Amino acid sequence: MRVKRVLNNNAVLAVDDEGHEVVAIGRGLGHGRRPNDSLDGTSIDQVFIAGGDASSDRLAQFLSDIPLVYIRAAGKVAELARDQLELRISQSLILPLADHLHFAAQRLREGINVEFPLGWEVAQLYPKELATGRAAVQIANRALGIDLQPDEAVALALHFVNAQFASPGLNKTFQMTEIITQIFDIIDHAFGITVDQQSMNAARFVTHLRYLFIRVASGKQITEPNTVLSNAIAETHPEAWGCAAKIQFRLEMGLSAVLTQDEVAYLGLHVARLTAELRA
């Protein structure tokens, strides 16, 4: 592996033996290096490879902006997630974690408090991920020498949830974003309203959709032993039920899967909640 460009004292843009551009990081790795210098593998902590929708320049810029200590802390958190949740350690997990920890530490230094309104939902739907998130906060605190607020565990838990259904590259993410945008269009037309997609109500609804995507991808859709819930929602919220049926059609096309009747029922319930809050 040879140096192509020094990014900072701890990171270099390099070319590996197969001619691929990579970003290598390690304490003091860039110190005194010049283009075409050979890199000793023992001095390299981690290697990140540009691919998919990320160019080597974008990756290099991202990693040069984050101090090495946060990348190392993210690596320790990723190891915890591997041990507790059986997640694969990859740069698609480490990089978002490093970015989050860096930003969280910056907020802490500036005295900025952040609310995590999804704490209840995460605790109910993903207790194991939340427990791992709480342990991750302690690991990060020791690695960084700081005292993050306990609720950062919610955000870390969501990173773990995302990693369970994320695929390599950004294509799947772009597809999900497109589907969510179209779902809001369906709701707008069905109810004659305009949903503020930046609002907290919309954020809750999107979170439900993301959990639905995860359940479909993992083959663990909601299935109740009877149809009482479905019938109740159809009777009490007929508009939301009809809207959910339209959303179901779009989801089944986008996800290449058939939704259970109970998933559609819960979807209708969340549509009813979203629209009721907006009308109120």
Q: What's the CATH code of the domain at 75?
A: 1.10.1790.10
Which tokens go with 105?
């530490």
Among 15-29, 82-96, 171-185, the range scoring the smallest mean pLDDT is 171-185
Whether residue 146 sits in one domain with residue 204: no
Domain check: are 85 and 15 in the same one? no
Q: Give Rg (Cα) of the chain.
A: 22
Q: Report the pLDDT value the prediction gives residue 170, as an integer from 0 to 100.
A: 38
Q: Which of 165, 183, 206 is the last residue of a domain?
A: 165
Average pLDDT over residues 14-23: 80
Residue with tokens 């609310």: 115
Predicted local distance difference test score (pLDDT) of residue 185: 92
Q: The domain spanning residue 9 has which CATH number?
A: 2.30.24.10
CA distance 93 to 72: 13
Is the CB of residue 218 less than 8 Å from the CB of residue 257? no
Sheet of strand 46-49: strand arrangement: 2-8, 11-15, 21-25, 46-49
Q: Do 63 and 46 touch, CB atoms closer than 8 A?
A: no
Range of the domain at 251: 171-279
Does one domain contain both 274 and 210? yes
Same domain for 77 and 136, yes or no, is yes
Per-residue CA distances from 34 to 67, 103, 236 (Å): 21, 31, 70
The answer on 236 and 177 residing in a single domain is yes
Q: How many domains does the chain have?
A: 3
Residue with tokens 């059986």: 86
**Tens of pLDDT along 242-269?**
999 999 998 988 888 899 988 898 899 9
What is the pLDDT at residue 168? 43
User: Is the domain of 261 the same as that of 274?
Assistant: yes
| pLDDT in the model for residue 232 | 81
Q: Check pLDDT > 80 for residue 122.
A: no
Q: Provide the pLDDT confidence category of residue 173 given band limits of 50, 70 and 90.
A: low
- Banded pLDDT at 131 (limits 50, 70, 90): very high
pTM (whole model) above 0.85: no
Same domain for 75 and 152, yes or no, is yes
pLDDT exceeds cutoff 50 at 53: no
Q: Pick the range with the lowest mean pLDDT from 18-32, 161-175, 199-213.
A: 161-175
H helix intervals, 66-126: 68-85, 91-109, 119-125
Residue with tokens 């990859």, as numbered in its chain: 90
Q: Which of 44, 65, 86 is where one domain is finished?
A: 65
- In this structure, the answer to whether residues 224 and 212 fall within a common structural domain is yes
Check residue 172 and give its pLDDT. 56
Residue-averaged pLDDT of the chain: 83
Compute the Cα dihedral for 139, 142, 143, 145 and give only its sign. positive
Query: Distance between CA atoms of 156 and 77, rounded to whole angstroms?
Result: 9
Last residue of a domain, one of 165, 196, 227: 165
Give burial (CB, 10 Å; 0-12/13-18/19+) of 214: middle
Q: 3-state class of 8 per DSSP?
A: strand
Is the domain of 197 the same as that of 134?
Answer: no
Sign of the dihedral through C-alpha 219, 225, 227, 228: negative
For residues 209 and 136, state if they share a domain.
no
Strand partners for 11 = 8, 25
Q: At what angle do helices 261-279 and 171-191 cross, to 10 degrees?
A: 60
Same domain membership, residue 59 and residue 6: yes
In this prediction, residue 199 carries a pLDDT of 79
Q: Is the pLDDT of residue 167 over 50?
A: no
Residue 121 pLDDT exceeds 80? no
Is the domain of 139 the same as that of 226? Answer: no
Dist. CA 17–CA 270, nearest whole Å: 52
